[in-house]
């Protein structure tokens, strides 16, 4: 083989390797080619573009709500990652990631328009402090992260939800928000939850089956004072009366409109949003169909959420380093 042939062959390999490394370093993202809130309304305009539906892959059955906060991660409830998510159970088993999928890009939870995307779930991570407290029979640290097999770009139909940049900033932002009494019950400002959960119930208070096709719903909520929240929890049971939200990284909210509860079965994991910023994750509502008791919202853990993004970046860097080592060995 001539010198020029050898040179050309080497240059070609280098170009291919550089392109591969560039793709890895830049973390290029690719895009693959109705269930409602009780008393909610259809989202409008740019509302809820961050929402995803966690579903069974086998039949597309909606399980929980979730919110995109990066190209391949969604925040949801820890209870959504365990079987038996619609109730507080002392014994539970983790769902198998490969059995689930997430939808994105559409207000419907089934394919109705060309923006609808389905992505396979790669991982389901629960908060290290998540469990069902045996004394109160309540979930604690009820947040989790869904990891996807593919990265999705933001578009006119999909936006990543905004949240505080650090845990310290989050506490400051939440404190600033709650110091504004307009956001408290009977004030003139509202926060919102979003979901495809149960929207109707029968005359005896039993939630009717979740519709196989439904439009994304939202409902306004306001902060509930701790003492009022505790009173409502005590009306549910002696066990829940012992649950202290402020000591368990949680707070309570109530619907702006009087009547039945806001989020219901299928709405767990949905984001609690104020002024387009994520402040919490919907966890629990007792007798959501007939009795307006209390909505429990869990606070965010920013290091837990961001840890998975850092892990991905570290993984990409490690892959790049491995390619470089292989290249040096070859040449």
**186-235 per-position pLDDT tens digit:** 899 999 999 886 555 444 444 445 555 688 988 889 999 999 999 989 98
Structural domain tally of the chain? Answer: 2
pLDDT at 4: 42
pLDDT in tens, 24-37: 333 333 322 233 34
Do 281 and 319 share a domain, yes or no? no
Question: What domain range includes position 179?
Answer: 167-301
Do 321 and 266 share a domain, yes or no? no
63 in a domain, yes or no?
no
pLDDT at 285: 64
pLDDT at 294: 78
262 in a domain, yes or no?
yes
> Average pLDDT of the chain?
78
Higher-pLDDT residue of 128 and 326 is 128
Do 289 and 320 share a domain, yes or no? no
pLDDT at 311 over 90: no
Cα–Cα dist 69/305, whole Å: 9
pLDDT at 296 over 70: yes
Do 233 and 322 share a domain, yes or no? no
CA angle 240-209-268, nearest 5°? Answer: 40
Higher-pLDDT residue of 106 and 204 is 106
pLDDT in tens, 58-92: 999 989 999 999 999 999 999 999 865 444 444 56
Stretch among 11-15, 127-131, 162-166 having the lowest mean pLDDT: 11-15
pTM over 0.85: no
265 in a domain, yes or no?
yes
How many angstroms from the chain centroid is the CA of residue 183? Answer: 23
Cα–Cα dist 213/108, whole Å: 7
**Hey, which bits of the chain come out as E strands?**
41-42, 51-56, 62-68, 73-76, 100-104, 117-126, 131-133, 138-140, 144-148, 191-195, 217-223, 250-255, 271-274, 277-285, 295-298
Do 323 and 202 share a domain, yes or no? no
Do 247 and 325 share a domain, yes or no? no
Strands 100-104 and 73-76: unpaired
Do 197 and 323 share a domain, yes or no? no
Stretch among 125-139, 195-209, 221-235, 292-306 having the lowest mean pLDDT: 195-209
Under the banding of pLDDT at 50, 70 and 90, the label for residue 117 is very high
pLDDT at 279 over 90: yes
């Amino acid at each position: 083989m001539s010198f020029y042939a050898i040179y050309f062959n080497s240059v070609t390999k280098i170009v291919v390797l550089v392109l591969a490394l560039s793709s890895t370093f830049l973390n290029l993202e690719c895009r693959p080619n109705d269930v409602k809130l009780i008393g909610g309304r259809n989202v409008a305009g740019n509302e809820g573009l961050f929402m995803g539906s966690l579903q069974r892959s086998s039949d597309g059955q909606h399980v929980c709500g979730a919110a995109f906060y990066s190209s391949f991660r969604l925040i949801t409830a820890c209870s959504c990652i365990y079987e038996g998510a619609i109730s507080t159970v002392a014994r539970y088993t983790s769902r198998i990631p490969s059995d689930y999928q997430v939808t994105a890009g559409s207000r419907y939870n089934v394919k109705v328009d060309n923006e609808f995307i389905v992505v396979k779930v790669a991982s389901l991570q629960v908060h290290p402090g998540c469990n069902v407290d045996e004394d109160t029979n309540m979930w604690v640290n009820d947040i989790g992260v869904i990891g996807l097999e593919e990265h999705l770009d933001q578009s006119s139909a999909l936006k990543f939800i905004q949240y505080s940049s650090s845990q310290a900033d989050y506490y400051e932002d939440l404190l600033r928000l709650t110091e504004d009494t307009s956001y408290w019950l009977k004030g003139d400002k509202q926060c919102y939850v979003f979901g495809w959960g149960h929207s109707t119930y029968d005359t005896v208070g039993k939630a009717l089956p979740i519709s196989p096709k439904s439009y994304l719903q939202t409902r306004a909520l306001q902060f509930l004072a701790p003492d009022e929240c505790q009173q409502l929890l005590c009306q549910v049971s002696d066990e829940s009366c012992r649950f202290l939200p402020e000591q368990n990284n949680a707070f309570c909210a109530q619907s702006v409109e009087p009547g039945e509860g806001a989020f219901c079965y299928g709405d767990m994991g949905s984001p609690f949003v104020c002024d387009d910023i994520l402040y919490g994750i919907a966890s629990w509502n007792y007798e959501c169909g007939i009795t307006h008791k209390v909505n429990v919202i869990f606070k965010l853990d920013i290091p837990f959420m961001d840890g998975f993004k850092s892990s991905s970046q570290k993984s990409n860097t490690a892959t790049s380093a491995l390619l470089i080592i292989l290249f040096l060995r070859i040449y």
